[in-house]
Amino acid sequence: MLINFCAQCSARVTLKIPPGDQLPRHVCDSCGAIHYQNPKIVAGCLIEWEDKIVLCKRAIDPRLGYWTLPAGFMEIGESVEHAAAREAFEEAEARVEIGAMLSMISVPHIGQVHIFFHAKLMGGSIGVGAESLEVGFYRETEIPWRELAFPTVKQTLQRYYADLHAGVQRAHVFDIAPPRSE
């Protein structure tokens, strides 16, 4: 993202490498403030209920109308686990108990890190939240694999089911490469 003016004093900024750094940063020409741009954290969860999981059909862009696990951007002042539980409630009206980390995916080409947790549904009920068109319980064979919104969701689900079939529970850490231009 291009920054033109300083958030501290409103003066112009210049893209340059500050002393002691190795990367170009937006540095204020007047007050010297350095404006760092860091990745955003997306927190979510794979909600388990009996032999099914919860999927949400997105009511917002990006990927409107595609299916996803409940997830969204972490807010200042909350833990990753709290963000995942909040997103589960906002998108699927699901009250959950957050468990172990399932996946942590670096998506450097868009400046994001996606973190998904195992979650247990408390009470067995879900509903359509404000950011969803539909929500539902799905067995592995019922998942709309070709209609999943994001590669991070697809790969998290694939790893989850591979672990389930192997009788193990692991945390998966991996990167998603940028899409190839054709």
Give the domains, in start order, of the chain with CATH numbers: 1-37 (2.20.70.10), 40-175 (3.90.79.10)
Could you read off the pLDDT of 36-59 as tens digits, one per residue? 999 999 999 999 999 999 999 999
| pLDDT(2) > 90 | no
Q: How far is Cα 113 from Cα 180, in angstroms, rounded to an integer?
A: 20
Q: How far is Cα 26 from Cα 14, in angstroms, rounded to an integer?
A: 5
| pLDDT(182) > 70 | no
Rounded mean pLDDT of the chain? 96
Q: Half-sphere exposure of 31 toward its Cβ, with a 13 Å CA cutoff?
A: 10
| pLDDT(135) > 80 | yes
User: Is the whole model's pTM more than 0.95, yes or no?
Assistant: no
| pLDDT(179) > 90 | no
